[in-house]
Structure formats: C-alpha cells, structure tokens
C-alpha cells in the first residue's frame, strides 16, 4: 500500500505505527522529510513521492511502553494532532447509532465510560474506549443483560487484575444499581 500510494500520489494511512518493526519505520525517514523518497532495497528502486502524496500515521502515545515507543527522529517528521474522548453530547449519539441502543441505556454506558476514564490510581493501562462502549451497547441491544454486557465488553478487556475488575464492577453497580 505504501509503494502504491507513492507511485499514484495517494494517501497512505498507517494505523498504530508504534507497532511496526524499527526497520520498517526507518524506511519512512527519507519519505517523510524534504527528500520525499521511498527506497525499495529489494528492487533497488527509488521512488520520488509526487506532490499529492501524503503519509498519515496514528498511535496512542499514552499506551506506549519502553519496547513500543515511537523514536523522536520518526515522531518529529509528522505534524501532530491530539484527540481526546468525545464529550457525552457527541458520544451518546455515536453509541446509539452504531449499536441501535436507546438513548437512556446509551447515556448510562457513556456515563460509566466517563467515570472509568476519570479514575486515577487504578491499575488501568487505558480508559474505556468508545469502541468498547459500542460493543457493550450492541450486546445490550441484542438482548444481553446489562451487567453481563458490561462485564464482557468493558471490565474483562480493561484488566486481568481481580481487584481492578471488582472496582469496575462496583462502579458499574453505582451507576446501574
């Protein structure tokens, strides 16, 4: 896809670029600086990226660890735009549209998501994503009990730690109790 985008002057989107091997990200360097060149070692070819070519990369900087960190020399080759979770007024309609869940139950899930995201001092590597809220909402809309859907789509994916899982269950019970 990268070679094709360079050849055709398209847009190449690299999702979770920190997951790429280091030898792959180094190939991006001459493409993402003033050289705008893609060197293909296997064929000995060097492609000049046409003006319309764009490289877009995404990653979650808060989830990086020492083994999966974007090198400063790579990160500095991109313009950065930060995103946060959507506000409830935006997230509730998204959860409803994507899952078919009604407004009251979608509002409860988004409220739970906000409470989990606001937790500090918990052993959570990441907060609950809109994606996980949609998974839970889809299960509920399909007839699964709310507690079981929250357990399967939110609590279990967020942590393996029994204490953390119990704290999340307790939080859900406060909202749905």
CA distance 122 to 163: 10
Q: 6-41: per-residue pLDDT in tens?
A: 999 999 999 988 888 777 777 888 999 899 999 988
Cα–Cα distance between 3 and 12 in angstroms, integer? 9
Global pTM? Answer: 0.74
- For 76-125, the pLDDT digits (tens) are 888 888 888 999 999 999 999 999 999 999 999 999 999 999 886 666 77
> Helix and strand tally (H, E) in the chain?
9, 4
pLDDT digits over 36-84, tens only?
999 988 898 999 999 999 999 888 766 555 456 777 888 888 888 888 8
Which residue, 137, 145, 135, is CA-closest to 100?
Answer: 137
Instruction: Kindly list the domain boundaries of the chain, sorted by start residue.
Output: 2-75, 88-176
């Amino acid at each position: 896809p990268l070679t094709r985008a360079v050849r055709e002057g398209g847009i190449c989107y690299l999702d979770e670029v920190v997951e790429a091997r280091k030898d792959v990200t180094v190939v991006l360097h001459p493409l993402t600086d003033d050289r705008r060149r893609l060197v293909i070692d296997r064929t000995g070819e060097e492609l000049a990226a046409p003006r319309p070519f764009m490289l877009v990369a995404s990653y979650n900087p808060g989830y990086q660890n020492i083994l999966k960190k974007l090198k400063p020399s790579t990160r500095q080759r991109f313009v950065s735009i930060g995103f946060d979770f959507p506000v409830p007024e935006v997230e509730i309609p998204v959860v409803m549209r994507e899952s078919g869940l009604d407004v009251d139950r979608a509002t409860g899930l988004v409220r739970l998501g906000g409470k989990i995201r606001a937790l500090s001092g918990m052993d959570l590597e990441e907060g609950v994503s809109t994606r996980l809220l949609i998974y839970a909402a889809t299960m509920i809309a399909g007839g699964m009990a709310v507690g079981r859907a929250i357990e399967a789509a939110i609590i279990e994916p967020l942590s393996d730690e029994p204490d953390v899982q119990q704290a999340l269950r307790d939080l859900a019970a406060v909202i749905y109790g």
